[in-house]
Amino acid sequence: MNQTDIQRQIELLRRRIDKELYLQFQAREPRMLYEPMVYLFEAGGKRIRPLLLILACQSVGGNLEECIHAALAIEILHTFTLVHDDIMDHDDVRRGRPTVHKKWDESTAILVGDGLVTIAYQVLLKTEHPHLKRIIQIFTDGLLVLCVGQALDKMFELQDTISMDAYEDMIEKKTTKLIEVACEIGAILGNGSEKEQLALKRYAHCLGKAFQIQDDLMDIFSEEKVSGKPMGSDLIEKKKTYPTIHFLNHSATSVKREFQTLWRKKDFGKKEILCIRELFIQESTYESTQQVIKELIAQALEHLSELKQGDARESLRRLTLMIRDRIS
């Protein structure tokens, strides 16, 4: 397949995922529980995790129908984490629309999240595979790692300084893990060899890290209409992210002081965020962060080359580049 065909293939897969997700939630009762779920899934999304799971499965010789339920389960689980994280992080906008706890209320958002994690298991349990127990274990262990990641993230908000090591440990738990779980489950469902499973897990690890660091960068450098959430929301929430920690580790005391003064302003807003952008460009924080993302993506692609050549591997490569360029 050529590049256009591959991109069309990914788009078709995404549509299939969207359709199946819709079918899981429409017409269920009570509406109080399911209406917000329909709202969440009709908002669309990149569907990166289910796409990765399916393509990982196909890249080792498996087929779509064997892994579709696991793919849906991983997206439902991911959506659950968004709903609860948005409450904890006081995020009012997601994908350009009010978050569940804003559109409804906190009780609804808590319950909708609880319902989603349950439905994720229900859908996962539709999978037929001799290693289903192991798959459920990977899914569950991954979920606990996510919870730990979110706990660390919240703890970091209360700390004055966070080391880069601590930050990387946190994002490996909070973001990378679920991407790893997606690829690992896909590889198992496709009956991939140990070597293939490992290559896909390592691929996911690099991709997941790149993805989060890019997200951090976009929070500061993208407009709301691109990122789907308010510009600088991490800065507003006093979250220490990759660019911020990198900046604090590599700048002169006077420049750091300038940053801290901006950051601690009581009416911290757009003006301050634009000043921080300038500082981050001036201090090469932007450039260094972009460089790290580029290296991680290169490593991810290298792991992919350990897999057998084929359409699914090419789709994974394409998806990786689309994620890098945020055009997916």
Report in angstroms how near the CB of residue 178 gets to its own copies at its nearest.
Answer: 13
- By CB under 8 A, is residue 148 in contact with its own copies? yes
- By CB under 8 A, is residue 166 in contact with its own copies? no
Contact region with its own copies (CB under 8 A), list: 4-12, 129-137, 194-202, 228-236: 129-137
Report in angstroms how near the CB of residue 150 gets to its own copies at its nearest.
Answer: 6
Of the residues 7, 18, 20, 33, which one makes contact with its own copies according to CB under 8 A:
33
Report in angstroms how near the CB of residue 176 gets to its own copies at its nearest.
Answer: 17
Report in angstroms how near the CB of residue 210 gets to its own copies at its nearest.
Answer: 25
Of the residues 107, 260, 282, 291, which one makes contact with its own copies according to CB under 8 A:
107
- By CB under 8 A, is residue 119 in contact with its own copies? yes
Contact region with its own copies (CB under 8 A), list: 125-133, 259-267, 295-303, 320-328: 125-133
- By CB under 8 A, is residue 87 in contact with its own copies? yes
- By CB under 8 A, is residue 118 in contact with its own copies? yes
Measured from the CB atom, the residue of 34 and 221 that comes closer to its own copies is 34
Contact region with its own copies (CB under 8 A), list: 16-24, 47-55, 108-116, 239-247: 108-116
Three state DSSP letters for the chain = CCHHHHHHHHHHHHHHHHHHHHHHHCCCCCHHHHHHHHHHHHCCCCCHHHHHHHHHHHHCCCCHHHHHHHHHHHHHHHHHHHHHHHHHCCCCEECCEECHHHHCCHHHHHHHHHHHHHHHHHHHCCCCCCCHHHHHHHHHHHHHHHHHHHHHHHHHHCCCCCCHHHHHHHHHHHHHHHHHHHHHHHHHHCCCCHHHHHHHHHHHHHHHHHHHHHHHHHHHHCCHHHHCCCCCHHHHCCCCCHHHHHHHHHCCHHHHHHHHHHHCCCCCCHHHHHHHHHHHHHCCHHHHHHHHHHHHHHHHHHHHCCCCCCHHHHHHHHHHHHHHCCCC
At residue 307, φ and ψ (nearest 5 deg) are -85, 160
- By CB under 8 A, is residue 125 in contact with its own copies? yes
Measured from the CB atom, the residue of 176 and 285 that comes closer to its own copies is 176
Q: Dihedral sign, CA of 28, 127, 310, 179?
A: positive
Of the residues 133, 194, 252, 254, which one makes contact with its own copies according to CB under 8 A:
133
Amino acid making up residue 204: A
Using CB under 8 A as the binding criterion, the count of chain residues that bind its own copies stands at: 35
Report in angstroms how near the CB of residue 120 gets to its own copies at its nearest.
Answer: 9
Q: Which two tokens stand for residue 223?
A: 């407009």
- By CB under 8 A, is residue 281 in contact with its own copies? no
**Can you give the binding site for its own copies, defined by CB under 8 A?**
30, 32-33, 84, 87-88, 106-108, 110-111, 113-115, 117-119, 121-122, 125, 132-133, 136-137, 140-141, 143-144, 147-148, 150-152, 154-155
